Amino acid sequence: MNKNKNSGSKLANPVIEVRNLVAKYGERTILDDISLDIYQGEVTVILGSSGGGKTTFLKNIIRLNQPYSGSVKIFNEEVTQMDEETFARILRRVGMLFQNGALLNSIDIYENLCIPLEQHTHLPKDVVERMVRKKLDLVNLSHALYLLPSELSGGMKKRAALARAIALDPEILFFDEPSAGLDPITSAQLDELILDLKNLLKISIVVVTHELASIHRIADRIIFLHKGKLVFHGSLDDAKLCPHETVQEFFRVGRFE
Amino acid sequence: MAEYQIQDKVLLIEGQLNKVSVAKLYSQILKDKHFKEIDYISLKKLEEIDSAGVAMLDELILKLPHPVPVRDMSEIVKDTISVFESRSLPENPKPKKAGIFEATGSAVINFSKELFEMLVLTSDIVYWSIVGIWNKRGQRKGSLIQQGVLIGVDALPIVALLSFIIGFIISLQSATQLKQFGANIFLANLIAISMVRELGPLVTAIIVAGRSGSAIASEIATMKVTEEIDALKMMALNPIRYVVVPKFHAVTFCMPLLVLFSILIGIFGGMLIGIYYLDLSLVAFLNACLEVTALKDIVISMAKSIVFAWQIVIVGSHYGFQVTGGAEGVGKATTIAVVISIFSVIVMDALFSLFYMI
């Protein structure tokens, strides 16, 4: 799981390399020539105004949308033209938490978590059950094991979905607006969990979020997208000094929320 | 890959203990005859471990007659184990399934509850639709026409096609039989009576239940899960009056017309067989049709069609309002609404036939 022993140092390996990525919906250009690296063992936060292309950026990296042009490398392998089977092997090392959890509604939480474990490994049943229960315990949901997703609140769904995303011990974890619709306490707990995952499991984490409080807690590196263009890439302290108008506006307005 | 050995009552695991290697190693260790005797587990030579590995260690320790310690691990392995250690997890047993008596009991209770709720809904709908005839407040302007088009006009092609095919097929099947006795002219009686009394209303009701019953249920269910119904209530609008009543009025108008249309097309299908296969004359066929159809038949047929229509709307909106859960619930509500409305239409048809006999 932890291949890079220097993950704490400045010379971390990039796990994702994006070069000249362009994404379009029809004629509309959503992402315009984005190039950046995402490093191992770091929390990278993607910021930007609504409609700025943040979710599209995530979806293009993991090929839920096909990029219009450009290159995306995950674990040093070019994925944009990769065949489905090879890409599936990469996806097993990647987890994603969707905005609304995206749990399968017809089966209970336990079975939702079993899906990746049963489909992608040959683990014995008792080990699987133990892993599922532990992962749910990590997100404080032990009591919800046999409940259906429709019986959970929004925050619980999100945590259950997180447990599913980490079921296979991924090396990269994507979060699409983890704190949207959560109260500040739950959202802070989720941030704690993100930091735990980073520190203990050395997972590389990419987060799309608007919450300034959350950014202060978790971010190692910040990517700022505005109208489809990359306007800033660097640390949080540097971001505050960034001369770009929208970045300035974001930190100025956000602080008083 | 990972390997193990048991020496001097020590279980030594080496290599990479991850979700690939655990699958094999776990059963191997469990089958080892010295496994139950070990004193501790040594991870001296373990390079890597993940959550599956930790889960395996915990399972192994819990399978032993007495708990044993895990020793000699590197810092990184120790960290990972401390994150995923799961022996102290609270047990939460799977909820038990209800026994046969409990299941029967709750089914009966649920059924009567549902019946009661449906009666309440029926009274609400009937009350508001009578009020709504004179007082159009609380309804969207033009919704009656819009619903009429959706439920009635749009259903015309499919009703026509199915009625024609059914009239045609029944006539074809009976014509061969009738021909043997030279009773050709009775084809007209047969097709007129069966279309007017039974098939017209029934076929139309089944089509409308499939088309509009499902649409009503899914529309209301979606409105319910997306909180639109609550929004209407908060604007001091009665959701039944706003959403259901226009459909109720529309279906009450459209259904008899659709049934009439279906009867005519069905008879037309039979007429083609009569003229071209049994060599009947057009005048003789129509004469026989008119002679055999009493006014009472048509009145009952129309009454039937209105009752069926009400059933479809009431059942559809009932299951729409009952929905729980998200998108999943909408699908379930729609399915059950169609099944129950077709079922209840057929039962009601049987009851009508019984009354008719008396």
Q: Are residues A28 and A84 in the same domain?
A: yes
Closest Cα of chain A to B242: distance in Å? 28
Decide: B351 and B239 in contact? Cβ < 8 Å. Answer: no
* Whole-number pLDDT of residue A47: 85
Closest Cα of chain A to B81: distance in Å? 10
A contacts of B326 (beta carbons < 8 Å): 105, 150
Query: CB distance from A201 to chain B under 8 Å?
Result: yes
CA distances (Å), origin B214, targets A233, B206, B241, B290: 52, 11, 19, 36
pLDDT at B141 over 90: no
pLDDT at A11 over 60: no
Report the share of chain A in percent with pLDDT over 70.
94
Last residue of a domain, one of A134, A169, A204: A169
Best CA proximity match to A210, nearest among A244, A176, A183:
A176
pLDDT tens, A63-85?
888 888 888 888 888 888 888 88
Q: Are residues A82 and A143 in the same domain?
A: no
Rounded CA-CA distance A102/B337 in Å is 27
pLDDT at B105 over 90: yes
Please judge whether A131 and B52 are an interchain contact, meaning their C-beta atoms are less than 8 angstroms apart.
yes
Query: CB distance from A135 to chain B under 8 Å?
Result: yes
Compute, in degrees rounded to 10, the torsion defined by CA atoms A156, A159, A160, A164.
Answer: 170
Q: Of B13-17, B57-61, B214-218, where does the model show the most confidence?
A: B214-218
Least confident of B33-37, B162-166, B294-298: B33-37
Instruction: Give the residues across from A96 on adjacent strands.
Output: A174
Query: CB distance from A89 to chain B under 8 Å?
Result: no
pLDDT at A201 over 80: no
B contacts of A123 (beta carbons < 8 Å): 19, 22-23, 26, 52
DSSP assigned state of A99: T
CATH, residue A71: 3.40.50.300
Average pLDDT over residues B2-15: 84
Q: Are residues A131 and A210 in the same domain?
A: no
CA distances (Å), origin A50, targets A54, A55, A211: 8, 10, 13
Q: Between residues B258 and B47, which one has the greater pLDDT? A: B258
Query: Which of B27, B84, B328 is closest, CB to CB, to A124?
Result: B27
Backbone angles phi and psi of A66, in degrees to 5: -85, 125
Best CA proximity match to B184, nearest among B171, B198, B197:
B171
The Cα angle at residue B219 between residues B143 and A105, in degrees rounded to 5: 165
Average pLDDT over residues A94-122: 86
DSSP assigned state of A234: E
Q: What are the structure tokens assigned to A108, written together?
A: 């209970």
Query: CB distance from A255 to chain B under 8 Å?
Result: no
Please judge whether A135 and B326 are an interchain contact, meaning their C-beta atoms are less than 8 angstroms apart.
no
Query: Which of A134, A135, A150 is closest, CB to CB, to B324?
Result: A150
pLDDT at A257 over 80: no
Closest Cα of chain B to A149: distance in Å? 9
B contacts of A135 (beta carbons < 8 Å): 51
Q: Are residues A195 and A175 in the same domain?
A: yes
Please judge whether B23 and A122 are an interchain contact, meaning their C-beta atoms are less than 8 angstroms apart.
yes
Residue B255 banded pLDDT, cuts 50, 70, 90:
very high
Q: Are residues A2 and A84 in the same domain?
A: yes
The alpha carbon of B6 is separated from its chain's Cα centroid by a whole number of angstroms, namely 57
Q: What is the mean pLDDT of chain A?
A: 83
pLDDT at A4 over 70: no
Q: Are residues A137 and A216 in the same domain?
A: no
Please judge whether B90 and A1 are an interchain contact, meaning their C-beta atoms are less than 8 angstroms apart.
no
A contacts of B50 (beta carbons < 8 Å): 1, 169
Sheet holding A43-48, edge to edge: A94-97, A172-176, A204-208, A43-48, A221-226, A229-234
Closest Cα of chain B to A49: distance in Å? 26
* Whole-number pLDDT of residue A8: 43
Query: Which of A135, A145, A196 is closest, CB to CB, to B92?
Result: A145
Q: What is the largest CA-CA distance in chain B?
A: 107
Interface test with B, best of A131, A150, A198 (most B CBs within 10 A): A131
Q: What are the structure tokens assigned to A9, written together?
A: 């140092």
Q: Are residues A71 and A183 in the same domain?
A: yes
Q: What are the structure tokens assigned to B41, written together?
A: 């587990």
Tally the domains of chain A: 2
Please count the residue pairs, one from chain A and one from chain B, whose beta carbons lie less than 8 angstroms apart: 80
Decide: A67 and A60 in contact? Cβ < 8 Å. Answer: yes
Query: Which of A123, A138, A200 is closest, CB to CB, to B19?
Result: A123
- Interface residues of B toward A, Cβ cutoff 8 Å, are 18-20, 22-23, 26-27, 48, 50-52, 54-56, 58-59, 76, 79-80, 83-84, 86, 89-90, 92, 94-95, 324-329
pLDDT tens, B306-358?
999 999 999 999 999 999 877 788 999 999 999 999 999 999 999 998 887 76
CA distance between the termini of chain A? 39
Q: Are residues A70 and A12 in the same domain?
A: yes
* Whole-number pLDDT of residue A7: 40
Q: Are residues A209 and A257 in the same domain?
A: yes
Decide: A130 and B57 in contact? Cβ < 8 Å. Answer: no
pLDDT at B80 over 90: no
Rounded CA-CA distance A163/A135 in Å is 5
Query: Which of A2, A130, A146 is closest, CB to CB, to B58?
Result: A130
CA distance between the termini of chain B? 83
CA distances (Å), origin A224, targets A35, A50, A236, B47: 12, 12, 11, 39
Decide: B155 and B253 in contact? Cβ < 8 Å. Answer: no
Average pLDDT over residues B265-279: 93
Compute, in degrees rounded to 10, the torsion defined by CA atoms A113, A116, A121, A124.
Answer: 20
Last residue of a domain, one of A154, A169, A184: A169
SS3 A172: strand
Decide: A223 and A230 in contact? Cβ < 8 Å. Answer: yes
Rounded CA-CA distance A170/B185 in Å is 79
Query: Which of B23, B76, B325 is closest, CB to CB, to A121?
Result: B23
* Whole-number pLDDT of residue B358: 66
CA distances (Å), origin A241, targets A30, B8, B257: 26, 64, 74
pTM for this predicted structure: 0.72
CA distances (Å), origin B333, targets A61, A215, B223, B315, B321: 38, 42, 12, 10, 9
pLDDT at A86 over 90: no
Query: Which of B48, B51, B328 is closest, CB to CB, to A105?
Result: B328
Strand A229-234 and strand A221-226: pairing? Answer: antiparallel
Rounded CA-CA distance B159/A76 in Å is 61
Q: In sequence order, what DSSP letters do the residues of chain A get, joined into one string?
A: ----TTTTSTTPPEEEEEEEEEEEETTEEEEEEEEEEEETT-EEEEEE-TTSSHHHHHHHHTTSS--SEEEEEETTEE-TT--HHHHHHHHTTEEEE-TT----TTS-HHHHHHHHHHHH----HHHHHHHHHHHHHHTT-GGGTT--GGGS-HHHHHHHHHHHHTTT--SEEEEESTTTT--HHHHHHHHHHHHHHHHHH--EEEEE---HHHHHHH-SEEEEEETTEEEEEE-HHHHHH---HHHHHHHHHHHT-
- Give the ipTM of the model, two decimals please: 0.76
Closest Cα of chain A to B24: distance in Å? 8
Which residue is it, tokens 């302007």? B141
Amino acid making up residue A123: L
Q: What is the mean pLDDT of chain B?
A: 89
Q: What are the structure tokens assigned to B15, written together?
A: 């290599």
Query: CB distance from A2 to chain B under 8 Å?
Result: yes
A contacts of B335 (beta carbons < 8 Å): none
* Whole-number pLDDT of residue A254: 63
Q: Are residues A234 and A139 in the same domain?
A: no
Which residue is it, tokens 């890959």? B1
Please judge whether B20 and A121 are an interchain contact, meaning their C-beta atoms are less than 8 angstroms apart.
yes
B contacts of A168 (beta carbons < 8 Å): 19
B contacts of A105 (beta carbons < 8 Å): 325-328
Last residue of a domain, one of A130, A149, A169: A169
Please judge whether A127 and B92 are an interchain contact, meaning their C-beta atoms are less than 8 angstroms apart.
no
Please judge whether A106 and B328 are an interchain contact, meaning their C-beta atoms are less than 8 angstroms apart.
yes
Please judge whether B86 and A2 are an interchain contact, meaning their C-beta atoms are less than 8 angstroms apart.
no
Q: Determine the structural domain holding residue A137 and report its residue range.
A: 101-169
Please judge whether B86 and A133 are an interchain contact, meaning their C-beta atoms are less than 8 angstroms apart.
yes
Please judge whether A134 and B55 are an interchain contact, meaning their C-beta atoms are less than 8 angstroms apart.
yes
Q: Are residues A175 and A230 in the same domain?
A: yes
Q: What are the structure tokens assigned to A147, written together?
A: 């409940």
pLDDT tens, A130-174?
889 888 888 888 888 888 888 888 888 888 898 898 888 888 999
Least confident of A247-256, B157-166, B246-255: A247-256
SS3 A70: strand
Q: Are residues A207 and A84 in the same domain?
A: yes
- Burial of residue A125, with CB atoms counted within 10 A of its CB: 0-12 exposed, 13-18 middle, 19 or more buried: exposed
Closest Cα of chain B to A197: distance in Å? 9
